[in-house]
Amino acid sequence: MTKKFSIRDYTLFFAIVGIWAFFAVMNPSYLGSRNLSMLTIEISTTAVAALGVLLIIVCGHIDLAIGSGIGLFGGIAAVLTTQYGLPAPVAMTIALLAAVAIWTAMGTLIVKERVPAFIVTLGGLLIFKGLFWNVIDTSTVPIVQGGKENLYSILTTQYLSPTASYVLTAFVVVALGYASMRARASRKLHNFQLEDVEVAFYKFFITAICLFIATTVLIEYRGIPLSAIILGVIAVGIYVLTQHLKFGRYLYAIGGNEEAAHISGVPVAKVTIGAFAIAGLLVGVTGLLQTSYAGSSTSSVGDLMELDAIAACVIGGVSLKGGKGTVMGVLAGSLIMASLLNGMTLMSVDPATKFIARGVVLTLAVWMDVRMNKS
């Protein structure tokens, strides 16, 4: 059975094009190589956090503690590196382990004690914000001491060489082509709907061209940022986890109908706690990326990033009721959120207007989710 072409499937693509066109007209430097490089780094931080939110929302919960966690774990690594003299890799590992432990504890409290995730994570938001300010003593803690770079500081300042950038892009294009062919063969074998061959080819061709154009533009500045590679590895990992492993099928089953999943033998408690543990790891990674990008840990790091991550998920088609959502949708939603914030910053929009814009986008995203669930 061949799936018919529907313009509705490309709504996010047209939204991204429209946003970029608007900001490019308002400020031509928006599409310059330097700003697109900065945008790539900003997308990486937003998307890594949003991928963690994806796992939690898909299984029917919510996480409001992400922003505070991002600041806390980035601050822990910064303090351990600069004030206690620990090697950056050790400090970063401790921060990530702390993130996994804390989010696992929250997941356990939610599952075992039946406390609503909204309340637990709202409490976490306040607790982690207070801990964060205590850890950094409400001051600015740099991640580099004596001007000497370390692994922590290069997370968002290191770039691939031009040759390595093109090689990586070619590898990604070949991998996408192979994955598409495998997926098509599998769907055909099971008599699922298939895209028209020409449509599938043009989608792949256009994607490949866009990737090489993006690589060329980034090379004009410094190359592909290391943070983009980190995002790519995480995105592939979450994609495999959700689409090709039993754990992922269990997640969607729990989000679709937890009681039915339990009756069917799904280990609901273990899977849900596991989802929170992985989300915690991604919160820790985001904290390291965001703090590295800022160059220091300050009391404002991570502010409202939980809302950006949730909005990115909902814009990307993740249902707040659970049981529905994809990695590609989350990446597209993250691109929209990061593009909006980057464009407003480039236009020197005042913070008050930024808050209003983020609130409007989040409200519209939730409204769209409700409308889509009704239709």
Give the pLDDT score at 3: 52
Examine residue 198 and state whether it is found in any structural domain, yes or no: no
Domain count, the chain: 1
End-to-end C-alpha distance for the chain, whole angstroms: 24
Residues 6+ apart with CB under 8 A from 254: 59, 60, 261, 266, 268, 271, 272, 322, 323
Give the pLDDT score at 362: 80
Examine residue 152 and state whether it is found in any structural domain, yes or no: yes
DSSP reduced 3-state for 195:
strand
Phi, psi of 253 (to 5 degrees): -65, -45
Report how far residue 116's alpha carbon sits from residue 251's, in angstroms, rounded to the nearest whole number: 18
Examine residue 171 and state whether it is found in any structural domain, yes or no: no
Which residues of the chain fall below pLDDT 70? 1-9, 369, 372-375
Examine residue 192 and state whether it is found in any structural domain, yes or no: no
> Where residue 103 sits, what CATH number does that domain have?
1.10.3470
Give the pLDDT score at 9: 58
Examine residue 68 and state whether it is found in any structural domain, yes or no: yes
Give the pLDDT score at 4: 53
- Taking the C-alpha atoms of 77, 83, 87 and 91 in order, what is their torsion angle to the nearest 10 degrees? -20
Examine residue 202 and state whether it is found in any structural domain, yes or no: no
DSSP string over 280-319: HHHHHHHHHHHHHHHTEE-TTTTTTHHHHHHHHHHHTT--
Give the pLDDT score at 270: 95
Q: Which of 97, 51, 40, 31 is nearest to 226 (CA)?
A: 40
Give the pLDDT score at 148: 81
Report how far residue 292's alpha carbon sits from residue 320's, in angstroms, rounded to the nearest whole number: 31
Examine residue 352 and state whether it is found in any structural domain, yes or no: yes
Containing domain of residue 305, as a range? 2-158+225-374
Report how far residue 228's alpha carbon sits from residue 29's, in angstroms, rounded to the nearest whole number: 21
Give the pLDDT score at 5: 47
Give the pLDDT score at 54: 96
